[in-house]
Structure 1
Protein backbone atom coordinates (compact mmCIF):
# COMPACT_ATOMS: atom_id res chain seq x y z
CA UNK A 1 0.00 0.00 0.00
CA UNK A 2 1.42 3.38 -0.97
CA UNK A 3 1.93 6.40 1.29
CA UNK A 4 -0.96 8.18 -0.40
CA UNK A 5 -3.30 5.27 0.35
CA UNK A 6 -2.23 5.32 4.00
CA UNK A 7 -2.98 9.01 4.25
CA UNK A 8 -6.40 8.51 2.70
CA UNK A 9 -7.31 5.77 5.19
CA UNK A 10 -6.52 7.90 8.23
CA UNK A 11 -9.43 9.80 9.79
CA UNK A 12 -9.68 13.45 8.94
CA UNK A 13 -8.83 15.89 11.73
CA UNK A 14 -11.73 17.23 13.72
CA UNK A 15 -12.65 20.80 12.87
CA UNK A 16 -13.67 23.36 15.47
CA UNK A 17 -17.19 23.47 14.06
CA UNK A 18 -17.65 19.72 14.33
CA UNK A 19 -16.25 19.71 17.84
CA UNK A 20 -18.62 22.48 18.95
CA UNK A 21 -21.54 20.66 17.35
CA UNK A 22 -20.52 17.44 19.10
CA UNK A 23 -20.27 19.20 22.47
CA UNK A 24 -23.67 20.85 21.95
CA UNK A 25 -25.21 17.53 20.99
CA UNK A 26 -23.80 15.82 24.09
CA UNK A 27 -25.07 18.68 26.26
CA UNK A 28 -28.53 18.30 24.73
CA UNK A 29 -28.50 14.55 25.43
CA UNK A 30 -27.41 15.14 29.02
CA UNK A 31 -30.15 17.73 29.58
CA UNK A 32 -32.82 15.43 28.16
CA UNK A 33 -31.66 12.56 30.38
CA UNK A 34 -31.72 14.86 33.40
CA UNK A 35 -35.25 16.03 32.61
CA UNK A 36 -36.46 12.45 32.12
CA UNK A 37 -34.92 11.38 35.43
CA UNK A 38 -36.44 14.35 37.26
CA UNK A 39 -39.91 13.69 35.85
CA UNK A 40 -39.69 9.98 36.58
CA UNK A 41 -38.64 10.56 40.19
CA UNK A 42 -41.32 13.18 40.69
CA UNK A 43 -43.97 10.88 39.25
CA UNK A 44 -42.85 8.01 41.47
CA UNK A 45 -42.95 10.30 44.52
CA UNK A 46 -46.46 11.49 43.65
CA UNK A 47 -47.85 8.01 43.11
CA UNK A 48 -46.12 6.82 46.30
CA UNK A 49 -47.90 9.55 48.25
CA UNK A 50 -51.22 8.57 46.67
CA UNK A 51 -50.58 4.90 47.47
CA UNK A 52 -49.78 5.76 51.08
CA UNK A 53 -52.98 7.81 51.34
CA UNK A 54 -55.04 4.96 49.92
CA UNK A 55 -53.35 2.38 52.18
CA UNK A 56 -53.92 4.51 55.28
CA UNK A 57 -57.55 5.12 54.36
CA UNK A 58 -58.24 1.43 53.76
CA UNK A 59 -56.45 0.53 56.99
CA UNK A 60 -58.59 2.97 58.98
CA UNK A 61 -61.76 1.61 57.41
CA UNK A 62 -60.83 -2.04 57.98
CA UNK A 63 -59.71 -1.47 61.57
CA UNK A 64 -62.84 0.55 62.33
CA UNK A 65 -65.07 -2.21 60.95
CA UNK A 66 -63.27 -5.00 62.80
CA UNK A 67 -63.24 -3.11 66.13
CA UNK A 68 -66.77 -1.71 65.83
CA UNK A 69 -68.41 -1.85 69.23
CA UNK A 70 -65.18 -2.96 70.95
CA UNK A 71 -62.90 0.07 70.69
CA UNK A 72 -63.44 3.76 70.13
CA UNK A 73 -61.70 4.65 66.85
CA UNK A 74 -62.99 8.22 66.73
CA UNK A 75 -59.70 9.83 67.76
CA UNK A 76 -57.68 7.66 65.38
CA UNK A 77 -60.01 8.51 62.50
CA UNK A 78 -59.93 12.23 63.30
CA UNK A 79 -56.14 12.14 63.30
CA UNK A 80 -55.79 9.82 60.32
CA UNK A 81 -58.22 11.42 57.88
CA UNK A 82 -56.34 14.77 57.73
CA UNK A 83 -53.14 12.85 57.05
CA UNK A 84 -54.90 10.98 54.26
CA UNK A 85 -56.15 14.26 52.81
CA UNK A 86 -52.70 15.87 52.96
CA UNK A 87 -51.06 12.86 51.31
CA UNK A 88 -53.71 12.71 48.59
CA UNK A 89 -53.50 16.45 47.81
CA UNK A 90 -49.69 16.44 47.87
CA UNK A 91 -49.53 13.35 45.67
CA UNK A 92 -51.97 14.81 43.15
CA UNK A 93 -50.04 18.09 42.98
CA UNK A 94 -46.71 16.31 42.57
CA UNK A 95 -48.06 14.05 39.80
CA UNK A 96 -49.57 17.03 38.00
CA UNK A 97 -46.39 19.09 38.35
CA UNK A 98 -44.04 16.33 37.19
CA UNK A 99 -46.20 14.93 34.41
CA UNK A 100 -44.53 17.27 31.89
CA UNK A 101 -41.76 19.83 31.60
CA UNK A 102 -41.93 23.32 30.07
CA UNK A 103 -39.64 23.78 27.05
CA UNK A 104 -39.08 26.89 24.92
CA UNK A 105 -38.61 26.11 21.23
CA UNK A 106 -36.76 28.16 18.61
CA UNK A 107 -39.81 30.39 18.05
CA UNK A 108 -39.88 31.29 21.77
CA UNK A 109 -43.10 29.30 22.22
CA UNK A 110 -43.40 27.56 25.56
CA UNK A 111 -44.81 24.06 25.33
CA UNK A 112 -45.01 21.20 27.77
CA UNK A 113 -43.47 17.84 26.94
CA UNK A 114 -44.31 14.57 28.63
CA UNK A 115 -41.86 11.77 29.41
CA UNK A 116 -42.72 9.99 26.15
CA UNK A 117 -42.00 13.19 24.20
CA UNK A 118 -38.68 13.62 26.00
CA UNK A 119 -37.73 10.02 25.23
CA UNK A 120 -38.43 10.58 21.55
CA UNK A 121 -36.35 13.78 21.60
CA UNK A 122 -33.59 11.83 23.36
CA UNK A 123 -33.55 9.20 20.60
CA UNK A 124 -33.32 11.96 17.97
CA UNK A 125 -30.52 13.69 19.90
CA UNK A 126 -28.63 10.40 20.22
CA UNK A 127 -28.88 9.84 16.47
CA UNK A 128 -27.61 13.36 15.82
CA UNK A 129 -24.74 12.86 18.24
CA UNK A 130 -23.73 9.60 16.56
CA UNK A 131 -23.92 11.23 13.13
CA UNK A 132 -21.73 14.13 14.20
CA UNK A 133 -19.30 11.80 15.96
CA UNK A 134 -19.04 9.60 12.84
CA UNK A 135 -18.19 12.63 10.71
CA UNK A 136 -15.59 13.75 13.28
CA UNK A 137 -13.61 10.53 13.60
CA UNK A 138 -10.41 10.83 15.62
CA UNK A 139 -7.22 8.85 15.00
CA UNK A 140 -6.99 5.49 16.75
CA UNK A 141 -4.44 6.53 19.38
CA UNK A 142 -6.50 9.62 20.31
CA UNK A 143 -9.63 7.50 20.69
CA UNK A 144 -7.74 5.17 22.99
CA UNK A 145 -6.56 8.10 25.09
CA UNK A 146 -10.15 9.34 25.27
CA UNK A 147 -11.29 5.83 26.21
CA UNK A 148 -8.75 5.68 29.03
CA UNK A 149 -9.87 9.10 30.32
CA UNK A 150 -13.51 7.92 30.37
CA UNK A 151 -12.76 4.82 32.45
CA UNK A 152 -12.76 6.55 35.89
CA UNK A 153 -16.30 7.77 35.23
CA UNK A 154 -17.30 4.22 34.25
CA UNK A 155 -15.79 2.84 37.45
CA UNK A 156 -17.67 5.44 39.48
CA UNK A 157 -20.91 4.54 37.67
CA UNK A 158 -20.47 0.84 38.42
CA UNK A 159 -19.74 1.53 42.08
CA UNK A 160 -22.69 3.90 42.40
CA UNK A 161 -25.03 1.37 40.85
CA UNK A 162 -23.64 -1.37 43.05
CA UNK A 163 -24.10 0.84 46.12
CA UNK A 164 -27.72 1.46 45.13
CA UNK A 165 -28.42 -2.27 44.87
CA UNK A 166 -26.68 -2.85 48.21
CA UNK A 167 -28.85 -0.19 49.84
CA UNK A 168 -31.97 -1.83 48.41
CA UNK A 169 -30.81 -5.20 49.74
CA UNK A 170 -30.01 -3.80 53.21
CA UNK A 171 -33.30 -1.90 53.35
CA UNK A 172 -35.36 -4.95 52.44
CA UNK A 173 -33.33 -7.09 54.83
CA UNK A 174 -33.95 -4.75 57.75
CA UNK A 175 -37.63 -4.49 56.85
CA UNK A 176 -37.83 -8.29 56.77
CA UNK A 177 -36.17 -8.51 60.19
CA UNK A 178 -38.52 -5.91 61.69
CA UNK A 179 -41.63 -7.54 60.22
CA UNK A 180 -40.55 -10.96 61.48
CA UNK A 181 -39.95 -9.55 64.96
CA UNK A 182 -43.29 -7.70 64.83
CA UNK A 183 -45.12 -10.92 64.02
CA UNK A 184 -43.76 -12.54 67.17
CA UNK A 185 -44.53 -9.45 69.26
CA UNK A 186 -48.10 -9.13 67.98
CA UNK A 187 -48.76 -12.85 68.45
CA UNK A 188 -47.56 -12.63 72.05
CA UNK A 189 -49.40 -9.38 72.78
CA UNK A 190 -52.82 -10.38 71.45
CA UNK A 191 -53.96 -13.60 73.08
CA UNK A 192 -56.51 -14.57 71.83
CA UNK A 193 -55.26 -13.16 68.52
CA UNK A 194 -58.59 -11.84 67.24
CA UNK A 195 -57.88 -8.08 67.71
CA UNK A 196 -54.44 -8.45 66.16
CA UNK A 197 -55.39 -10.92 63.47
CA UNK A 198 -55.43 -8.23 60.79
CA UNK A 199 -51.94 -7.09 61.80
CA UNK A 200 -50.63 -10.64 61.67
CA UNK A 201 -52.10 -11.17 58.23
CA UNK A 202 -50.64 -7.88 56.98
CA UNK A 203 -47.20 -8.58 58.45
CA UNK A 204 -47.18 -12.11 57.03
CA UNK A 205 -48.13 -10.83 53.59
CA UNK A 206 -45.41 -8.17 53.82
CA UNK A 207 -42.79 -10.79 54.69
CA UNK A 208 -43.89 -12.91 51.72
CA UNK A 209 -43.73 -9.95 49.32
CA UNK A 210 -40.31 -8.85 50.56
CA UNK A 211 -38.89 -12.38 50.32
CA UNK A 212 -40.26 -12.81 46.80
CA UNK A 213 -38.93 -9.42 45.67
CA UNK A 214 -35.45 -10.12 47.06
CA UNK A 215 -35.38 -13.52 45.38
CA UNK A 216 -36.57 -12.13 42.06
CA UNK A 217 -34.41 -9.01 41.74
CA UNK A 218 -31.31 -10.47 43.49
CA UNK A 219 -30.07 -7.14 44.83
CA UNK A 220 -27.13 -8.65 46.72
CA UNK A 221 -25.82 -10.59 43.72
CA UNK A 222 -26.12 -7.58 41.42
CA UNK A 223 -24.29 -5.37 43.91
CA UNK A 224 -21.49 -7.92 44.28
CA UNK A 225 -21.03 -8.31 40.52
CA UNK A 226 -20.96 -4.55 39.91
CA UNK A 227 -18.49 -3.92 42.72
CA UNK A 228 -16.27 -6.77 41.52
CA UNK A 229 -16.20 -5.41 37.97
CA UNK A 230 -15.47 -1.88 39.20
CA UNK A 231 -12.58 -3.11 41.37
CA UNK A 232 -11.10 -5.14 38.50
CA UNK A 233 -11.25 -2.18 36.08
CA UNK A 234 -9.78 0.15 38.71
CA UNK A 235 -6.93 -2.33 39.28
CA UNK A 236 -6.10 -2.41 35.57
CA UNK A 237 -6.32 1.39 35.41
CA UNK A 238 -3.81 1.72 38.25
CA UNK A 239 -1.52 -0.82 36.57
CA UNK A 240 -1.67 1.18 33.33
CA UNK A 241 -0.85 4.46 35.09
CA UNK A 242 2.06 2.87 36.96
CA UNK A 243 3.33 0.90 33.91
CA UNK A 244 3.37 -2.37 35.81
CA UNK A 245 2.33 -5.84 34.66
CA UNK A 246 0.53 -6.49 32.42
CA UNK A 247 1.22 -2.96 31.07
CA UNK A 248 4.99 -2.81 31.48
CA UNK A 249 5.80 -2.33 27.79
CA UNK A 250 7.69 0.76 26.74
CA UNK A 251 5.30 1.27 23.82
CA UNK A 252 2.39 3.24 25.26
CA UNK A 253 0.18 2.51 22.26
CA UNK A 254 0.43 -1.23 22.96
CA UNK A 255 -0.42 -0.66 26.61
CA UNK A 256 -3.50 1.36 25.69
CA UNK A 257 -4.64 -1.30 23.22
CA UNK A 258 -4.16 -4.09 25.77
CA UNK A 259 -5.96 -2.02 28.41
CA UNK A 260 -8.95 -1.36 26.13
CA UNK A 261 -9.20 -5.07 25.27
CA UNK A 262 -9.10 -6.07 28.96
CA UNK A 263 -11.69 -3.51 30.04
CA UNK A 264 -14.07 -4.49 27.25
CA UNK A 265 -13.66 -8.15 28.25
CA UNK A 266 -14.54 -7.29 31.86
CA UNK A 267 -17.57 -5.28 30.79
CA UNK A 268 -18.74 -8.12 28.56
CA UNK A 269 -18.46 -10.57 31.47
CA UNK A 270 -20.46 -8.15 33.62
CA UNK A 271 -23.22 -7.98 30.99
CA UNK A 272 -23.33 -11.78 30.79
CA UNK A 273 -23.66 -12.05 34.57
CA UNK A 274 -26.51 -9.53 34.51
CA UNK A 275 -28.27 -11.51 31.78
CA UNK A 276 -27.82 -14.70 33.79
CA UNK A 277 -29.41 -13.06 36.84
CA UNK A 278 -32.37 -11.97 34.72
CA UNK A 279 -33.05 -15.55 33.66
CA UNK A 280 -35.44 -17.79 35.63
CA UNK A 281 -33.96 -20.11 38.22
CA UNK A 282 -34.55 -23.21 36.07
CA UNK A 283 -32.76 -21.62 33.10
CA UNK A 284 -29.79 -20.73 35.32
CA UNK A 285 -29.48 -24.35 36.44
CA UNK A 286 -29.53 -25.45 32.82
CA UNK A 287 -26.71 -23.09 31.86
CA UNK A 288 -24.44 -24.14 34.73
Structure 2
Protein backbone atom coordinates (compact mmCIF):
# COMPACT_ATOMS: atom_id res chain seq x y z
CA UNK A 1 0.00 0.00 0.00
CA UNK A 2 2.69 2.59 0.81
CA UNK A 3 4.38 1.92 -2.53
CA UNK A 4 1.09 2.42 -4.35
CA UNK A 5 0.49 5.66 -2.47
CA UNK A 6 3.98 6.91 -3.35
CA UNK A 7 3.50 5.96 -6.98
CA UNK A 8 0.12 7.72 -7.07
CA UNK A 9 1.57 10.88 -5.51
CA UNK A 10 4.44 10.86 -7.98
CA UNK A 11 2.03 10.47 -10.87
CA UNK A 12 -0.14 13.32 -9.59
CA UNK A 13 2.93 15.53 -9.19
CA UNK A 14 4.08 14.74 -12.72
CA UNK A 15 0.63 15.48 -14.13
CA UNK A 16 0.54 18.79 -12.26
CA UNK A 17 3.96 19.81 -13.57
CA UNK A 18 2.96 18.82 -17.12
CA UNK A 19 -0.17 20.94 -16.79
CA UNK A 20 1.94 23.89 -15.68
CA UNK A 21 4.20 23.45 -18.69
CA UNK A 22 1.18 23.36 -21.00
CA UNK A 23 -0.23 26.48 -19.40
CA UNK A 24 3.12 28.24 -19.83
CA UNK A 25 3.37 27.23 -23.49
CA UNK A 26 -0.22 28.39 -24.06
CA UNK A 27 0.48 31.76 -22.43
CA UNK A 28 3.59 32.27 -24.56
CA UNK A 29 1.58 31.63 -27.71
CA UNK A 30 -1.17 33.95 -26.50
CA UNK A 31 1.41 36.69 -25.90
CA UNK A 32 2.70 36.30 -29.47
CA UNK A 33 -0.83 36.44 -30.88
CA UNK A 34 -1.72 39.45 -28.75
CA UNK A 35 1.39 41.34 -29.82
CA UNK A 36 0.42 40.75 -33.44
CA UNK A 37 -3.12 41.95 -32.75
CA UNK A 38 -1.96 45.07 -30.92
CA UNK A 39 0.52 45.83 -33.70
CA UNK A 40 -2.35 45.66 -36.19
CA UNK A 41 -4.64 47.79 -34.04
CA UNK A 42 -2.14 50.61 -33.66
CA UNK A 43 -0.02 50.10 -36.75
CA UNK A 44 -2.79 50.10 -39.37
CA UNK A 45 -4.20 53.55 -38.44
CA UNK A 46 -0.68 54.98 -38.33
CA UNK A 47 0.11 53.61 -41.78
CA UNK A 48 -3.23 54.94 -43.00
CA UNK A 49 -2.41 58.41 -41.70
CA UNK A 50 1.07 58.30 -43.25
CA UNK A 51 -0.39 57.18 -46.59
CA UNK A 52 -2.86 60.08 -46.61
CA UNK A 53 -0.10 62.49 -45.58
CA UNK A 54 2.16 61.20 -48.38
CA UNK A 55 -0.70 61.52 -50.83
CA UNK A 56 -1.29 65.13 -49.85
CA UNK A 57 2.46 65.92 -49.84
CA UNK A 58 2.93 64.60 -53.35
CA UNK A 59 0.01 66.67 -54.57
CA UNK A 60 1.24 69.85 -52.87
CA UNK A 61 4.98 69.66 -53.61
CA UNK A 62 5.03 67.96 -57.00
CA UNK A 63 1.64 68.21 -58.74
CA UNK A 64 0.30 71.41 -57.18
CA UNK A 65 -0.28 73.08 -60.54
CA UNK A 66 -0.99 69.92 -62.49
CA UNK A 67 -2.93 66.72 -62.39
CA UNK A 68 -1.55 63.76 -60.50
CA UNK A 69 -1.08 60.71 -62.78
CA UNK A 70 -4.04 58.35 -62.66
CA UNK A 71 -1.84 55.37 -61.77
CA UNK A 72 -0.46 57.05 -58.65
CA UNK A 73 -3.84 58.47 -57.72
CA UNK A 74 -5.50 55.07 -58.11
CA UNK A 75 -2.77 53.32 -56.13
CA UNK A 76 -3.15 55.71 -53.19
CA UNK A 77 -6.93 55.45 -53.37
CA UNK A 78 -6.95 51.64 -53.28
CA UNK A 79 -4.29 51.49 -50.58
CA UNK A 80 -6.17 53.99 -48.40
CA UNK A 81 -9.47 52.14 -48.80
CA UNK A 82 -7.86 48.80 -47.86
CA UNK A 83 -6.22 50.30 -44.78
CA UNK A 84 -9.43 52.01 -43.72
CA UNK A 85 -11.40 48.75 -44.02
CA UNK A 86 -8.69 46.85 -42.12
CA UNK A 87 -8.74 49.45 -39.33
CA UNK A 88 -12.52 49.31 -38.97
CA UNK A 89 -12.59 45.51 -38.99
CA UNK A 90 -9.83 45.20 -36.39
CA UNK A 91 -11.45 47.66 -33.99
CA UNK A 92 -14.84 46.01 -34.48
CA UNK A 93 -13.38 42.60 -33.66
CA UNK A 94 -11.40 43.95 -30.70
CA UNK A 95 -14.37 45.57 -28.96
CA UNK A 96 -17.05 43.11 -30.01
CA UNK A 97 -19.00 41.27 -27.33
CA UNK A 98 -18.36 37.94 -29.08
CA UNK A 99 -14.85 38.66 -30.28
CA UNK A 100 -13.06 35.73 -31.94
CA UNK A 101 -9.84 37.00 -30.39
CA UNK A 102 -9.21 35.12 -27.19
CA UNK A 103 -7.48 37.99 -25.40
CA UNK A 104 -9.36 40.97 -26.78
CA UNK A 105 -9.15 44.08 -24.60
CA UNK A 106 -6.30 42.42 -22.65
CA UNK A 107 -2.90 44.07 -22.45
CA UNK A 108 0.31 42.25 -23.27
CA UNK A 109 1.64 43.33 -19.87
CA UNK A 110 -1.12 41.39 -18.11
CA UNK A 111 -0.40 38.28 -20.17
CA UNK A 112 3.29 38.58 -19.33
CA UNK A 113 2.41 38.81 -15.65
CA UNK A 114 0.25 35.70 -15.96
CA UNK A 115 3.18 33.93 -17.62
CA UNK A 116 5.57 34.90 -14.83
CA UNK A 117 3.09 33.73 -12.21
CA UNK A 118 2.57 30.42 -14.01
CA UNK A 119 6.33 29.84 -14.20
CA UNK A 120 6.67 30.73 -10.52
CA UNK A 121 3.87 28.33 -9.57
CA UNK A 122 5.57 25.55 -11.51
CA UNK A 123 8.90 26.20 -9.79
CA UNK A 124 7.30 26.42 -6.34
CA UNK A 125 5.34 23.23 -6.92
CA UNK A 126 8.48 21.38 -7.95
CA UNK A 127 10.37 22.79 -5.00
CA UNK A 128 7.60 21.98 -2.50
CA UNK A 129 7.80 18.32 -3.41
CA UNK A 130 11.61 18.25 -3.60
CA UNK A 131 12.88 19.80 -0.39
CA UNK A 132 16.34 18.22 -0.36
CA UNK A 133 19.39 20.00 -1.72
CA UNK A 134 19.82 17.40 -4.44
CA UNK A 135 16.27 17.82 -5.65
CA UNK A 136 16.48 21.61 -5.46
CA UNK A 137 19.51 21.42 -7.72
CA UNK A 138 17.48 19.21 -10.03
CA UNK A 139 14.74 21.83 -10.03
CA UNK A 140 17.34 24.49 -10.81
CA UNK A 141 18.45 22.43 -13.78
CA UNK A 142 14.88 22.47 -15.08
CA UNK A 143 14.85 26.27 -15.04
CA UNK A 144 18.01 26.70 -17.09
CA UNK A 145 16.43 25.85 -20.49
CA UNK A 146 14.03 28.76 -19.94
CA UNK A 147 17.00 31.01 -19.23
CA UNK A 148 18.69 29.78 -22.40
CA UNK A 149 15.57 30.60 -24.42
CA UNK A 150 15.47 34.09 -22.90
CA UNK A 151 19.13 34.73 -23.70
CA UNK A 152 18.70 33.55 -27.29
CA UNK A 153 15.61 35.74 -27.67
CA UNK A 154 17.45 38.82 -26.42
CA UNK A 155 20.40 37.94 -28.63
CA UNK A 156 18.16 37.78 -31.70
CA UNK A 157 16.59 41.10 -30.72
CA UNK A 158 19.92 42.92 -30.47
CA UNK A 159 21.16 41.23 -33.64
CA UNK A 160 18.10 42.47 -35.54
CA UNK A 161 18.53 45.97 -34.12
CA UNK A 162 22.17 45.95 -35.23
CA UNK A 163 21.26 44.75 -38.73
CA UNK A 164 18.51 47.36 -39.02
CA UNK A 165 20.91 50.11 -37.97
CA UNK A 166 23.54 48.93 -40.42
CA UNK A 167 21.10 48.74 -43.34
CA UNK A 168 19.76 52.20 -42.55
CA UNK A 169 23.32 53.46 -42.35
CA UNK A 170 24.28 51.83 -45.69
CA UNK A 171 21.13 53.08 -47.41
CA UNK A 172 21.42 56.62 -46.08
CA UNK A 173 25.11 56.89 -46.98
CA UNK A 174 24.45 55.63 -50.51
CA UNK A 175 21.45 57.93 -50.89
CA UNK A 176 23.53 60.95 -49.91
CA UNK A 177 25.96 60.30 -52.75
CA UNK A 178 23.15 59.52 -55.20
CA UNK A 179 21.16 62.65 -54.40
CA UNK A 180 24.29 64.81 -54.52
CA UNK A 181 25.07 63.53 -58.00
CA UNK A 182 21.47 63.65 -59.28
CA UNK A 183 20.14 67.04 -58.16
CA UNK A 184 21.60 70.28 -59.40
CA UNK A 185 19.02 72.66 -57.86
CA UNK A 186 19.12 73.13 -54.10
CA UNK A 187 15.61 71.71 -53.59
CA UNK A 188 14.38 69.08 -52.99
CA UNK A 189 17.87 67.55 -52.89
CA UNK A 190 19.07 69.85 -50.13
CA UNK A 191 16.29 68.81 -47.74
CA UNK A 192 16.86 65.13 -48.50
CA UNK A 193 20.60 65.48 -47.90
CA UNK A 194 20.01 67.16 -44.54
CA UNK A 195 17.61 64.41 -43.49
CA UNK A 196 19.90 61.59 -44.60
CA UNK A 197 22.94 63.20 -42.99
CA UNK A 198 21.01 63.50 -39.74
CA UNK A 199 20.02 59.82 -39.97
CA UNK A 200 23.61 58.72 -40.55
CA UNK A 201 24.83 60.72 -37.55
CA UNK A 202 22.09 59.42 -35.23
CA UNK A 203 22.47 55.78 -36.31
CA UNK A 204 26.25 55.90 -35.98
CA UNK A 205 26.03 57.42 -32.51
CA UNK A 206 23.31 54.96 -31.39
CA UNK A 207 25.28 51.98 -32.66
CA UNK A 208 28.40 53.09 -30.80
CA UNK A 209 26.50 53.81 -27.59
CA UNK A 210 24.12 50.84 -27.30
CA UNK A 211 26.44 48.28 -29.00
CA UNK A 212 23.67 45.87 -30.10
CA UNK A 213 26.15 43.65 -31.95
CA UNK A 214 28.33 43.08 -28.88
CA UNK A 215 25.26 42.46 -26.70
CA UNK A 216 23.90 39.92 -29.16
CA UNK A 217 27.25 38.13 -29.29
CA UNK A 218 27.59 37.96 -25.50
CA UNK A 219 24.03 36.70 -25.01
CA UNK A 220 24.44 34.06 -27.72
CA UNK A 221 27.76 32.94 -26.26
CA UNK A 222 26.28 32.56 -22.77
CA UNK A 223 23.25 30.67 -24.11
CA UNK A 224 25.51 28.28 -26.08
CA UNK A 225 27.66 27.63 -23.00
CA UNK A 226 24.60 26.89 -20.85
CA UNK A 227 23.20 24.57 -23.48
CA UNK A 228 26.56 22.78 -23.65
CA UNK A 229 26.46 22.16 -19.89
CA UNK A 230 22.86 20.90 -20.10
CA UNK A 231 23.76 18.46 -22.87
CA UNK A 232 26.86 17.26 -21.02
CA UNK A 233 24.83 16.65 -17.85
CA UNK A 234 22.09 14.78 -19.70
CA UNK A 235 24.60 12.57 -21.53
CA UNK A 236 26.86 12.07 -18.53
CA UNK A 237 29.98 13.24 -20.32
CA UNK A 238 32.87 15.37 -19.01
CA UNK A 239 32.86 17.14 -16.66
CA UNK A 240 29.69 15.40 -15.38
CA UNK A 241 30.97 11.84 -14.95
CA UNK A 242 30.50 11.47 -11.18
CA UNK A 243 27.53 10.73 -8.94
CA UNK A 244 24.26 12.53 -9.56
CA UNK A 245 24.60 14.70 -6.46
CA UNK A 246 28.08 15.90 -7.40
CA UNK A 247 27.07 16.39 -11.02
CA UNK A 248 24.13 18.61 -10.06
CA UNK A 249 26.28 20.60 -7.67
CA UNK A 250 28.92 21.14 -10.34
CA UNK A 251 26.22 22.01 -12.88
CA UNK A 252 24.67 24.67 -10.63
CA UNK A 253 28.10 26.15 -9.86
CA UNK A 254 29.10 26.27 -13.54
CA UNK A 255 25.86 27.82 -14.74
CA UNK A 256 25.85 30.44 -12.00
CA UNK A 257 29.42 31.32 -12.98
CA UNK A 258 28.28 31.82 -16.59
CA UNK A 259 25.42 34.06 -15.47
CA UNK A 260 27.77 36.17 -13.34
CA UNK A 261 30.16 36.56 -16.28
CA UNK A 262 27.25 37.61 -18.50
CA UNK A 263 26.18 40.28 -16.03
CA UNK A 264 29.76 41.56 -15.83
CA UNK A 265 29.96 41.83 -19.61
CA UNK A 266 26.67 43.74 -19.68
CA UNK A 267 27.97 46.14 -17.05
CA UNK A 268 31.15 46.69 -19.05
CA UNK A 269 29.10 47.53 -22.15
CA UNK A 270 27.05 50.03 -20.14
CA UNK A 271 30.18 51.83 -18.95
CA UNK A 272 31.85 54.62 -20.97
CA UNK A 273 34.84 53.62 -23.10
CA UNK A 274 37.35 55.38 -20.85
CA UNK A 275 35.98 53.69 -17.72
CA UNK A 276 36.24 50.27 -19.35
CA UNK A 277 39.88 50.90 -20.17
CA UNK A 278 40.58 51.85 -16.53
CA UNK A 279 38.84 48.66 -15.33
CA UNK A 280 40.83 46.52 -17.71
CA drift at 1:117: 4.7
1:221 to 210, 214, 217: 214
1:259 counterpart residue number? 251
Q: Are the equivalent residues in 1 in contact too, given 2:152–2:220 (CA < 8 A)?
A: yes
Work out the CA distance in 2 between the residues paired with 1:160 and 1:111.
23
Q: Structure 2: which 5+ runs fail to align? A: 1-7
Q: Are the equivalent residues in 1 in contact too, given 2:127–2:139 (CA < 8 A)?
A: no
Q: Are the equivalent residues in 1 in contact too, given 2:51–2:76 (CA < 8 A)?
A: yes
1:175 counterpart residue number? 168
Work out the CA distance in 1 between the residues paired with 2:277 and 2:168.
33
1:240-266, Cα deviation, whole Å (9 max, x unpaired): 54643xx27644432331122011110
Work out the CA distance in 1 between the residues paired with 2:169 and 2:197.
10
Work out the CA distance in 2 between the residues paired with 1:100 and 1:133.
40
Distance 1:101 1:17, change over 3 A: farther
Distance 1:171 1:237, change over 3 A: same
Work out the CA distance in 1 between the residues paired with 2:217 and 2:134.
33
1:83 aligns with 2:75: no
Per the normalisation by structure 2, the TM-score is 0.73
Distance 1:92 1:36, change over 3 A: farther
RMSD: 4.0
Range moving further from structure 2, 249-258 or 221-230: 249-258
CA drift at 1:29: 3.2
3-state SS, counterpart of residue 38 of structure 1: helix
1:204 counterpart residue number? 197
2:31 to 32, 36, 51: 36
3-state SS, counterpart of residue 194 of structure 1: coil
CA drift at 1:186: 1.5
CA drift at 1:180: 1.3
1:51 aligns with 2:46: yes
Q: Structure 1: which 5+ runs fail to align? A: 1-12, 105-109
1:13-63, Cα deviation, whole Å (9 max, x unpaired): 964334333332332233223212321232124433333332332233233
CA drift at 1:84: 3.1
1:60 counterpart residue number? 55
CA drift at 1:176: 1.6
CA drift at 1:142: 4.2
1:179-205, Cα deviation, whole Å (9 max, x unpaired): 210121122111113133443344334
1:269 to 247, 261, 264: 261
CA drift at 1:166: 1.9
1:230 counterpart residue number? 223
3-state SS, counterpart of residue 114 of structure 1: coil
Work out the CA distance in 2 between the residues paired with 1:281 and 1:85.
50
Aligned length: 268
Per the normalisation by structure 1, the TM-score is 0.71
